[in-house]
Amino acid sequence: MTATAPHIPVLLDEVIAGLDPKAGETHVDGTFGAGGYTRALLDTGARVYAFDRDPDAIAEGRAFAEEQGGRLILVPERFSRLAEALAERGVDQVDGVTLDIGVSSMQLDRAERGFSFQADGPLDMRMDQAGMSAADFVNEADEEEIADVLHDLGEEPRARRVARAIVHARPITRTAQLADVVRRALGHKPHEKKDPATRTFQAIRIHLNAELDELEQGLAAAERVLRPGGRLAVVSFHSIEDRIVKRFLRERSGATPAGSRHLPDIRGAGPRPSFEAVAKPVRAGEAEIARNPRSRSATLRVAHRTEASPWGAGPRKEGRQG
């Protein structure tokens, strides 16, 4: 990593304000990427455990980490394992966790990673560069499975038509080829603002990388490692992701809606609230959107950890901080 990060992360000022890091604190950046959030946390004097499942991100961050005198520890893991990975490094509690959900700009901008159709490349999309590729999926899955993925994870209203076109066009090995198949299936017009292939690429990527499962597990892991008063900041870019974050924080803060007059009100009957939502969702302003179009769909949610035990766990124990 060079002295200047290649990408400015979305809602950077708002994320740092929500995390409120201080010198000597320990924070987790669950999605290191190009290191933008991590750099800002380090600038406050905090120590950072930076997670990333992408070997490229870890490799490119090593030189930067070596410059930090032990204040930056790179962790080549999925953020769903952050509790276990921290425990392996002698850390049980931290002061803040930040998660930037979805694909990184580094991954999108490199055609050879196969995440984007903006430049032609091999149809890959694997964040950790292992397991089934996007080419494997579109060439081996049956039409029904492809349609279900496009509908459920891409919210594609004509999923079956696209799936049928994909099956008929096999073999598909390049990003430009898949994008063209989708456009022809949906009757794309060049002047349309949003390319219809976007939903298909998003759905396949989320499916291959099990991103929604990762998010749910990562939120639960953050709940386990945050000390009382610790801060959680999550930036999501898709309505499905944001619904998961919103539901998690609503349940964990005890803000689940009351029952109707015909049903009992069960609020307060379960575990004590483990989080307190501290602000309304934050979205990028016009200036940031103009500077970084990717921020247009971003939503930031921030919450503070209470003294209650994690849900599904025993009483909270005093933990070790890094």
pLDDT the model gives residue 319: 54
- Check residue 267 and give its pLDDT: 52
23 domain residue, yes or no: yes
Task: Provide the domain limits for residue 164.
Answer: 111-208
pLDDT tens for the chain, 322 residues long, are 433 445 678 999 999 999 999 999 999 999 999 999 999 999 999 999 999 999 999 999 999 999 999 999 999 999 999 999 999 999 999 999 999 998 777 777 787 887 889 889 999 999 999 999 999 999 999 999 999 999 999 999 999 999 999 999 999 999 999 999 999 999 977 777 789 999 999 999 999 999 999 999 999 999 999 999 999 999 999 999 999 999 999 999 987 654 445 545 445 556 899 999 888 999 999 999 888 888 889 999 999 999 999 997 655 555 566 6
Same structural domain, 128 and 91: no
- The letter for the amino acid at 196 is P
The confidence score (pLDDT) of residue 266 equals 46
Q: Are residues 95 and 1 part of one domain?
A: yes
pLDDT in tens, 214-260: 999 999 999 999 999 999 999 999 999 999 999 999 999 987 654 44
Same domain, 3 and 96: yes
Q: How many other CB atoms are found less than 10 A from the CB of residue 161?
A: 16
Same domain, 89 and 12: yes
Last-in-domain residue among 77, 101, 125: 101
What b/e sequence results for 25-43 when a residue is b if at least 16 CB atoms lie within 10 Å of its CB, and e otherwise? bbbbbbbbbbbbbbbbbbe
Same structural domain, 3 and 97: yes
Q: Is 63 exposed, middle or buried (0-12, 13-18, 19+ CB in 10 A)?
A: exposed
* Residue 129 sits in the same domain as residue 60: no
pLDDT in tens, 13-38: 999 999 999 999 999 999 999 999 99
Same domain, 87 and 154: no
Total tally of structural domains belonging to the chain: 2
Q: Is residue 8 part of a domain?
A: yes
Q: Residue 291's pLDDT is what? A: 87
Clarify whether residues 22 and 92 are in a common domain: yes
Same domain, 186 and 117: yes
CB 79 within 8 A of CB 221: yes
Instruction: Tell me whether residue 242 is in a domain.
Output: no
191 lies in some domain? yes
Q: Are residues 116 and 197 in the same domain?
A: yes
CATH of the domain at 132: 1.10.150.170
Q: Please name every residue paired with 51 in a beta bridge, in sequence order, or none if there are none.
A: 75
In a domain, 152, yes or no: yes
Structure confidence at residue 242 (pLDDT): 96
Domain end (from 191, 208, 225) = 208
Q: Which helix (H) or strand (E) holds 16?
A: helix 12-19
pLDDT of residue 259: 46
Q: What angle do CA 185, 190, 196 make, to 5 degrees?
A: 45
Taking alpha carbons only, the member of 40, 47, 41 closest to residue 72 is: 47
Residue 104 in contact with residue 116, Cβ under 8 Å?
no
> d(Cα 57, Cα 75) in Å, to the nearest integer?
10
Residues 65 and 131 placed together within one structural domain of the fold: no
Domain boundary among 78, 101, 124: 101
120 lies in some domain: yes
Do 97 and 4 share a structural domain?
A: yes
- Tell me the whole-structure pTM to 2 decimals: 0.89
Check if the beta carbon of residue 235 is closer than 8 Å to that of residue 281. no
CATH code for the domain of 84 = 3.40.50.150
> What integer pLDDT is reported at residue 224 of this predicted model?
98
Of the CA atoms within 13 Å of residue 133, those in its CB half-sphere come to 16
Residue 57 lies in a domain: yes
Residue 155 placed within a domain: yes
Identify which of 205, 17, 233 has the alpha carbon closest to the alpha carbon of residue 115: 205
Q: What are phi and psi of 226, to 5 degrees?
A: -75, 130
What is the reported pLDDT for 12? 95
pLDDT given for residue 5 in this prediction: 42
